[in-house]
Amino acid sequence: MSKSKLSKHRHISFTAHYTGYIWYQMGISHSAFATPQGKALALLAHPVEKLAEKYIGGSMRTTLKTRHTLLDEHLTQLIEQHPNLQVLEIAAGLSPRGWWFRTHYPSIDYRELDLPAMAETKQASLTMINLNSPEVLSADLFTQDFKNAFAVFDPKRPLVIISEGLINYFDKALLMQLLKSIVLYGQDFKALHYLTDLYPEPVQNKLAKVIWSSSKLLKLLSRSAFSFHFVTPNEVKQFFTAAGFDQVDVVQPKVYFAEPNSQRLNLHTDHPDHQQHQNEHLGDLVWMIHAQLNEPKA
């Protein structure tokens, strides 16, 4: 991928180092992804995180665990349905997901993508673990290079695009551009799935104003357009459908984790409990989205 073609929308957030270290602390990552910068940020944020968990009912690290669990469980289900699955994790940062899934499911083709500097950092970390780790792709999501990343994969096999901690950093116009690009570049694949987390407006939280103020600080520190765009799951579904996706499921943790493990992944659009809450924000700090294109309808 070209390192010279970068859009004005590029940003590498310090949160990549923070999340990388928190995942390591949780025991779901490798020490190679735990940077000194991440450790310093985790120590700095610890007192604030404790207060947030006590008074708000959640914090950045608790939402990290929630969203990571939701994404991993849904990706695992897709791999079990499609053993020849291909995965492209965009804005992969220091996520351990690619390393973990390649280790546990060697039959899948799992590639990671990020901006040039972070891609180099991630490549160095992966090489520390395994000299034969695949190349981390380098591309700006808002340039032609993003299209080139799709050419790495076989269109005769299903493809999953996955992102974590990404889409709230874009305003709605840019988010629509990204979604339309995924649909356009992925439309010729046997099936296309997009798994992502999303932070809804914290309207159901008693300390919503505090969360909003914190988001403005994050927006400033990360030099991004970080914001909350949606209040109800139906708003999300309409937005993703307008971008070209055929089916969109919005997973709210309060519903998902209330179900037995064996039933969780059946909470799709046609499930009564799922449908009941599509107009309702249940108060979770983070949701998960599973958008599909070209998937055969049941």
SS3 per-residue string spanning the chain: CCCCCCCCCCCCCCHHHHHHHHHHHCCCCCHHHCCHHHHHHHHHHHHHHHHHHHHCCCCHHHHHHHHHHHHHHHHHHHHHHCCCCEEEECCCCCCCHHHHHHHHCCCCEEEEEECHHHHHHHHHHHHHHCCCCCCCEECCCCCHHHHHHHCCCCCCCCEEEEECCCHHHCCHHHHHHHHHHHHHHHCCCCCEEEEEEECCCCCCCCCHHHHHHHHHHHHHHHCCCCCCCCCCHHHHHHHHHHCCCCEEEEECHHHHCCCCHHHHCCCCCCCHHHHHCCCCCCCCCCEEEEEEECCCCC
Residue type, position 44, single letter: L
- Cα angle value 251/256/260 (rounded, 5°): 155
Give me the residue spans of the domains in the chain: 56-293
Q: What is the pLDDT at residue 63?
A: 78
Assigned architecture for domain 56-293: 3-Layer(aba) Sandwich (3.40)
223 and 217 in contact (C-beta within 8 Å)?
no
pLDDT at position 3, please? 44
Pair type for strands 86-89 and 287-293: unpaired
CA 89 to chain centroid, in Å, comes to 8
pLDDT digit string (tens) for the chain, length 298 residues: 444 455 555 555 657 777 777 778 888 878 888 887 877 777 776 666 666 556 555 566 677 888 999 999 999 999 999 999 999 999 999 999 999 999 999 999 999 999 998 999 999 999 999 999 999 999 999 999 999 999 999 999 999 999 998 998 898 999 999 999 999 999 999 999 999 999 998 765 554 444 434 433 333 333 444 677 899 999 999 999 999 999 999 999 989 988 776 566 664 555 555 556 667 888 888 899 999 997 544 4
Look at residue 220 in the predicted model and tell me its pLDDT. 38
Report pLDDT for 194: 98
Q: Is the pTM above the cut of 0.95?
A: no
Q: Are 177 and 152 in contact (CB under 8 A)?
A: no
Question: How far from 86 is each of 78, 130, 133, CA to CA, in Å?
Answer: 10, 20, 16
